[in-house]
Amino acid sequence: MDNSMSISAIDLFCGVGGLSYGLKKSGINILAGVDLDDTCEFAYSENCKAEFIHESIDKIKGEVLQKKFKKGSYKLLAGCAPCQPFSSYTYKSDKNKDSRWQLLYEFSRLIVETEPDFVTMENVPTLLKFKAAPVFRDFVKKLEGLGYSVWYDVVFAPDYGIPQNRKRLVLLASKHGKIELISPTHKREEYLTVYDAIGHLEKIKDGECSKTDIIHKAAKLTELNLRRIQQSKPGGSWKTDWDEELKLACHISEKGKGYGSVYGRMKWDEPSPTMTTFCNGIGNGRFGHPEQDRAISLREAAILQSFPEEYKFASNAGNLVSKHIAKHIGNAVPPRLGEVIGISFQKHIEALNYDKKKKK
């Protein structure tokens, strides 16, 4: 590859840097990340070694970003607009009122104003299913109207070496010809499991924190919840595992019966469930440790999202706010998926350079 034509990227909605970190690992030069949440700044700057711009996407101007792009390199504008407005619940309950729906249109505006060579966007798969909502369709139409070749599909994280049953919508766009995500790197029998990811970590109890890692910290359980997790089996359900006196009225109600995975334990020999913004609480999903009587720790959640074990989320224990970090981890693009996206762009420009040489 011609080093004078490498890729430089700016990451919109960057959070704590999952996408940026993965892109950087693939060899892409990360210039800056933009996010409204200033609690992300330490983790982003510390791990991605790039500028953190504390600003709302609807306030920032394209000319500000344009000045940061380097001459003589391909420009990549990347981003993962907040997925909450595109969730099934929000769509059904407030489909016309959530101002965050407009953020994808602001992404489009910045594409027009910065004219990048490449664009990537990651979001929840349900964005494809909203027949009444033109948000994603409009985004793709805008890109195609600007001359981009666009590829998008729902990606299953274990296919790319992420130990988590996570499905995400990934979009790649190029002004230089056809582009697509690289083929899956892992077959089903090669999927990374919970044990592969976190089986080696230090054992801790509920409410305890590792002496060597400030985010290998598990939430404290009430006496009742401790009894519940003790009766929970890996991959099982409160419906069959628990004594009757441990069940709440909301569990056995008709609505509650549909939430059989809450308070459940993960299985060692399978990828984990999808990490959410409440991934460190057993009452929020199947977030129980496979064998220790506790919810998974913040570090375990981060590793299951494919963050490296040394990724720093807080400068010290005094600055650690568990609910913030759980939110940051759940909202993040898995770094490994970011790396796969980056590799796809790298292969794309290698093909461009090859074609240029052939024509000479």
Residue 356 pLDDT: 65
- Distance from C-alpha of 226 to C-alpha of 331, rounded to nearest angstrom: 27
Residue 80 pLDDT: 86
* Residue bearing tokens 């002496």: 211
- Distance from C-alpha of 174 to C-alpha of 182, rounded to nearest angstrom: 15
- Distance from C-alpha of 94 to C-alpha of 88, rounded to nearest angstrom: 10
Residue 134 pLDDT: 78
If residue 118 lies in a helix (H) or strand (E), which one and from where to where? strand 118-123
Region for residue 49 given its phi and psi (left: phi exceeds 0; alpha: psi -120 to 50; beta: otherwise): left
Tokens of 270: 């399978």
Q: What is the pLDDT along the chain (360 residues), one digit of tens a residue?
A: 344 479 999 999 999 999 999 999 999 999 999 999 999 999 999 999 999 999 999 999 999 999 999 888 999 999 988 755 444 434 444 444 455 568 889 999 999 999 999 999 999 888 887 653 678 899 999 999 999 999 999 999 999 999 999 999 999 999 999 999 999 999 999 999 999 999 999 999 999 999 999 999 999 999 999 999 999 999 999 989 999 999 877 666 555 555 668 899 999 999 999 999 999 999 999 999 999 999 999 999 999 999 999 999 999 988 899 999 999 999 999 999 999 999 999 999 998 876 666 665
Beta bridge mates, 150: 173
Residue 84 pLDDT: 53
Residue 251 pLDDT: 61
Residue 124 pLDDT: 87
Residue 127 pLDDT: 84
SS3 sequence, 15-42?
A: CCCHHHHHHHHCCCEEEEEEECCHHHHH
Residue 355 pLDDT: 65
Parallel, antiparallel, or unpaired: how do β-strands 149-156 and 118-123 relate? unpaired
SS3 at position 104: helix
Which DSSP string corresponds to 64-86? HHHTTSPTTSEEEEEE---SGGG
- What residues are annotated to the active site? 83
* Residue bearing tokens 């602001």: 106
- Distance from C-alpha of 46 to C-alpha of 30, rounded to nearest angstrom: 13
Contact in structure between 305 and 329 (CB atoms under 8 Å): yes
Residue 86 pLDDT: 46
Residue 309 pLDDT: 98
Structural domains in the chain, CATH included, are 3-186+335-359 (3.40.50.150), 190-331 (3.90.120.10)
The CA-to-CA distance between both ends of the chain, in Å, stands at 16
